[in-house]
Amino acid sequence: MTRILVVGSVALDSVKTSEGESRDALGGSAVYFSLAARHFAPVSIVGVVGRDFPSAHRRMLEGRGIDLAGLRAEAGKTFRWAGKYGRDMAGAKTLETQLNVFKDFRPALSEEQKGAPVLFLANIDPELQADVLAQMRRPQIVACDTMNFWIASKLPALKELLSKVHIFFGNEEEAKKLTRQPNALRAARVISEWGPSVVVIKKGEHGAVLKAGKEVFVFPAFPLETVKDPTGAGDSFAGGFMGYLASVGGCEDAHHLKRAVLYGTVMASFNVEDFSTRRLESLERGDLEERFVDFLERLTVPREAALA
Ligand code: AMP
């Protein structure tokens, strides 16, 4: 089965929302991504933690089939992020980013990791993302994500990276900031001109836009009345999306890309139901498929009704 290699943050997050708070809880872009993608394909994480990283988190991830051979433990502290959300849960306000062991991290991939057919460059320093990509032999699908922190501090490295990837994920605010465009569609067009033929712009509770080559498709979000913690929504979306693509083995076909958005949307909807990675830890494939069908039924407008 197609293996996915992911490089990204493995973090201890402190998050405050109107529904409660968590302190030094498991997080990080690579973690959310892997917990989502594992339902579709084997996943290996490349990253670094400090000696303070609880071994219970390692055991939990390995217990869910995630390969941690590439997760190094270095002297120092684990990456930490603190953020809070307003009542509408739209967009995190970063309170603190401590790179800690990520500051000096230079990943060296094993021969097996270099041969992975699918690579996800999750949100982390774009120079690290490029470093990993440069070591790969011939990946068939390469995707990347980023966030405001890197758009503000490493724009040239990020643009250079974008010229080498097939798929880009970003939220609407980041995409507009990155491209200096006024709306998601124009931002997606500009990003696709820089390199990626597939661009996914996420709009939180308003769904997502998929640009696949010249075509554009729009999707609503799965309707949820209560969101407890939106942290990791983007990464779990990417995990569902990339996991599904890895399981079908390609990113050319619009039909597969549309299904990938549906799986990403459903995965993110589970993730935001609880703090940290709690809901993704307990999620089973059956829950996922049940909500996937539920989502499809809500989406469908019978042709006859639409045309009447
Ligand atoms: P998301 O909500 O999907 O955008 O991702 C949230 C995750 O990204 C959190 O678990 C954080 O630990 C992680 N994160 C926050 N800021 C950064 C950063 N500058 N670089 C890498 N990861 C980050």
Q: Does the CB atom of residue 264 touch ligand 1 within 6 A? A: no
Sequence-ordered list of residues with C-beta below 8 angstroms from that of 216, at least 6 positions apart, any chain: 185, 188, 209, 210
Q: What is the CATH number of the domain that holds 243?
A: 3.40.1190.20
Res 68: pLDDT: 98
What's the 305 CA to ligand 1 centre distance in angstroms? 43
Mutate to test the pocket of ligand 1, among 7, 9, 89, 172 (most ligand atoms within 8 A of CB): 9
User: Mean per-residue pLDDT for 228-244?
Assistant: 97
Nearest CA to ligand 1 atom 9: 28
The per-residue pLDDT for 300 is: 81
28 CB less than 6 Å from ligand 1? yes
pLDDT score at 108? 93
* Structural domain count of the chain: 1
The answer to whether 201 and 171 are in contact (CB under 8 A) is yes
**Which pLDDT tens digit goes with each residue over 264-296?**
999 999 999 999 999 999 999 999 999 999 999
pLDDT score, position 24: 98
pTM of the model: 0.96
24, 84, 123: which to mutate for ligand 1, most atoms within 8 A of CB? 123
- Of 206, 204, 214, 219, nearest to 170 by C-alpha is 204
Average pLDDT over residues 151-168: 97
How far, in Å, is the centroid of ligand 1 from the Cα of 9?
Answer: 7
How is the beta sheet containing 79-84 ordered, strand by strand? 20-27, 11-17, 79-84, 93-98
Answer yes or no: are the C-beta atoms of 26 and 147 closer than 8 Å: no
Domain interval for residue 146? 4-307
